[in-house]
Amino acid sequence: MADSRDAKDGPVARLRRWARSAIVQEVPAEMERCEFDCRKDHCTLGEWDTCENRLKSLRPGEK
């Protein structure tokens, strides 16, 4: 069942919206530094909890 947005948009707009939702996702603030500024591919839960790089992003005024 199509919603009203799909009924108004053409097929290209629907395709663009689908592709964007499938490919591009918002990165939560607490994960920004992990995703973009860290060399590690994976952290254990203990490493993530105490990661200074991640904690800096949660402090006001630091990005």
Residue 6: inside a domain: no
**Number of domain units in the chain:** 1
Residue 13: inside a domain: no
Both tokens of 18, joined, read 């689908």
Contact at 8 Å (CB) between 29 and 57?
yes
Give the domain extent around 41. Answer: 28-63
Residue 54: inside a domain: yes
Residue 52: inside a domain: yes
pLDDT tens sequence across 42-54: 889 899 889 888 8
Mean pLDDT of the chain: 80
The closest of 8, 58, 1 to 33, measured between CA atoms, is 58
pLDDT mean over 2-24: 78
pLDDT of residue 11: 92
Cut 0.75: pTM above it: no
Contact at 8 Å (CB) between 43 and 51?
yes
